[in-house]
Structure 1
């Protein structure tokens, strides 16, 4: 049942906190832990290629799993509700699999561990994402999405800096104790946020609003988009895909960029410092953007975020120094914060009533698709770098600027969203 009264701060936090745990886990792995682990087990000149291919396959799995998990959640009934059982099971599976990221000493084992962990967390993520449209009236969803993004960013910035500190010690000392400490920290965070969600969220226990169907039919129709009822959703997915491709490419190869182009002495620590710069800017922009989108509309703020992102990348392209990196990071933080909260509010607007988890799982076609496609830049970077010093990284920046432009144009094709789409 939707919250009819004006939501209190605690109401927003309850339905958002698990996202912070997921953000901590995957930001720690993608930005710090996995790039460093790959340096332990793959040839250094091919590090971008291995990183790109590893995460590409993982994101494809995520893209396939979320809509199916969401569709089953939409049709699920239990005394605990439709969403929390999936959050519980997915989190427990993830905690069982997380240690394998430290045990893997060859690439194929790391590959299997990573893909398994992706599957587990996405079982939990799709149902979790439906809590906002389940429990928040549409006029508060921009604010709720802003707070969701705010918590994800705040937790990620604070915890990833701690993880980077431990990983820097691991790099210097080669003592696996610090690798295990680095893996334990995000594990504890996702466990704590799962428990908080499970204990504080109160879901409706009434039957789902859509017809219960055989499991095979649910799985095979999970990817269907009703273009007749919801044509805007396709433009939304395409716009989200391109903008997240820009952000995903930059996040994935930041550590290697800092080491190879900016020549910082401790890339893991400097990557975390960059994330703190980005995070501060995110924190300053994410909540106001969500609030403003409730008043001014979603598209104008998404276009503005794209323009700011383009300007930030131009700064980095013409000034590939540590100072230029920080300036770019600050601008990208503003762009990302504005985009994340506003774009997610648009997603909740476009989710069809009764199928919120499936539709928000379908947003992962863009989210994970962007993550997968952005990782394919890895082989290109290595190939072009082998032809000319840093040519691959320069081309990467030009590609990201292009992605921002395309994504900003596509979002303008979305017609005005009516409140009866979801409520």
Structure 2
């Protein structure tokens, strides 16, 4: 079985911007959807009462079921067919259908009927998006030599952060202009589609993956998790994602309940913009730096900054100070994101199953989304009679997850250390 190899591309290596363009639209898609459109939709259907956190957690967790199961299955099929981009085309179509269903629910329905139609649309979004991204995720480990993965991962993280920045600005503009909430879904669809066309056109010559060499077999799942680098990278990513998803879905409510912002959508958008601007600064630098110094030192620093920011957000009720902490968190988040992908690509043990293994690795990011349900319930349970104890508990747990991720990443063996 082939291990620790970097396959030579069968066609000229695409420019990193072309190869990762779809991640730009995908980042825009998920930021507006998860942090702006879905929280607002839940409030529209269930009200501002004590159950909004629980229903938002339920919606997130139901969608995560699809994202948990589908990527390894689709990835394995992609490895067998030797194709990547056809999955991107069909997945994009289903994703757009789901956005139309969600937008229609927000525009025309009310009450619990509207909520369950919103759930149906989100299931379609998750199915289509994961059908597209599982095979697409294999392109960097499949095509990019090990010594360039930090650079490609850094460009990808920079594009993601830029997409998120545009998303925060667009959500702010939609709210400021007084447009109906359904406008967010049309905007998401547009920005998701255009970068996808760039990748589909620019990477058309590399959509045929290297088929398994005759006589070589694919690792079983048991063998995959027995492979040390993959095992430790998988669980490190789980812990960092647990920290992120303990807080991210509830930022809108944090702005309203703790920071006492009258327009929570706009104040959340500004806070997200602060996080993203800082992450853009650190993302590209972090990826390139990791090609020289190794991946882990960058992750140590990134995780420490995110943990400190989460802890300090507990004790502040001042919006301007919270914005400063958002900048600190963004510096850590951008550096982590840039190195996370390179570290994961380095840990892939066999070129025979890049898409399947990246799909399984993606589960480490998706499965922690289920934490939104218990965290939402914890939030509602402790935030009684005007208390904000729920936010103290949730943000404290997030900081603990980040610290645990820093400790666990020490077990990941470094694969790249160039002069």
TM-score by length of 2: 0.90
In 2, Cα distance between equivalents of 1:162 and 1:107: 24
Q: What are the superposed Cα offsets for residues 104-150 of structure 1, whole Å, 9 maximum, x if unpaired?
A: 23221111111121011000011111111122111000110110010
Give distance in 2, aligned partners of 1:60 and 1:211. Answer: 35
Of stretches 105-114 and 194-203 in structure 1, the one that deviates more from structure 2 is 105-114
TM-aligned CA distance change 1:392 to 1:204, over 3 Å: closer
Q: Which residue of 1 aligns with 2:315?
A: 318
> 2:100 & 2:209 partners in 1: Cα distance?
38
Residue 212 of structure 2: aligned partner: 209
Of 15, 21, 27, 1:23 maps to 27
DSSP 3-state at the match of 1:262: coil
Partner of 1:51: 56
Q: 1-side partners of 2:264 and 2:11: how far apart?
A: 48
For the structure 1 residues 138 and 391, does the alpha-carbon distance in structure 2 shift closer, same or farther, using more than 3 Å as the test? same
Is 2:186 aligned against 1:181?
A: no
Moved more, 275-284 or 304-313: 304-313
Q: Which residue, out of 299, 303, 309, partners 2:300?
A: 303
- 1:24 Cα offset (Å): 0.9
Does structure 2 retain, via aligned residues, the 8 Å contact 1:168–1:266?
Answer: no
The question of whether the paired residues in 2 share the 8 Å contact of 1:169 and 1:178 is answered with no
Partner of residue 42 from structure 2, selected from 38, 41, 46: 38
Structure 2 spans left out of the alignment, 5+ residues: 1-6
Give secondary structure in 2 for the equivalent of 1:320: coil
Do structure 1's residue 417 and structure 2's residue 415 form an aligned pair? yes
Deviation at 1:261, TM superposition (A): 0.6
- The alpha carbon displacement at 1:17 in A equals 0.5
Question: Unaligned 5+ residue runs, structure 1?
Answer: 171-176
**Pair 1:138–1:207, CA change in 2 (3 A):** closer
Would you say 1:159 and 2:167 are equivalent positions?
A: yes
Q: 1:55 to 1:225 in 2, by over 3 A?
A: farther
| Alignment counterpart, residue 122 of structure 2, candidates 97, 100, 114 | 114
Contact 1:86 1:124 in 2 (8 A): yes
Indicate if the aligned counterparts of 2:97 and 2:124 stay in contact, CA closer than 8 A. no
Aligned to 2:288: 291
Map 1:4-403; keep pairs closer than 5 Å.
Answer: 11-44=15-48, 45-77=50-82, 82-104=83-105, 105=109, 106-167=114-175, 169-170=177-178, 178-201=180-203, 202-203=205-206, 205=208, 208-209=211-212, 226-228=224-226, 230-352=227-349, 353-386=351-384, 389-403=387-401
Q: Is the 8 A contact 1:71 1:222 kept in 2?
A: no
Say how many residue pairs are matched. 401
> Closer, same or farther in 2 for the Cα pair 1:223/1:193, shift >3 Å?
farther
State whether residues 22 and 195 of structure 2, in contact with CA within 8 Å, keep that contact through their aligned partners in structure 1.
yes
In 2, Cα distance between the equivalents of 1:160 and 1:227? 38
Identify if the C-alpha distance between structure 1 residues 5 and 128 changes in structure 2 by more than 3 Å, giving closer, same or farther: closer
CA distance 1:210–1:375, shift in 2 (3 Å): farther
Report if aligned partners of 2:146, 2:416 keep a CA contact under 8 Å in 1.
no
Cα deviation digits, residues 370-401 of structure 1 (max 9, x gap): 22224430011000112660010111111111
**CA pair 274-196 structure 1, distance change in 2 beyond 3 A:** same
- Partner-residue secondary structure (3-state), 1:354: helix
- Structure 1 residue runs of 4 or more that deviate by more than 4 Å after TM superposition: 3-7, 210-213, 221-225
- Give the secondary-structure state (helix, strand or coil) at the position aligned to 2:383: helix
Query: What's the offset of the Cα at 1:269?
Result: 0.7
How well do the aligned residues superpose, as a CA RMSD in angstroms? 2.4
Task: Flag the 1:206–1:414 CA change in 2: closer, same or farther, 3 A.
Answer: closer
Deviation at 1:167, TM superposition (A): 3.7
Rounded Cα–Cα distance in structure 2 between residues aligned with 1:320 and 1:234: 40
Change (3 A) 1:212 1:262: farther
- Alignment partners' CA distance in 1, 2:28 and 2:118: 20
Asked if 2 retains the 8 angstrom alpha-carbon contact of 1:101 and 1:113, the reply is: yes
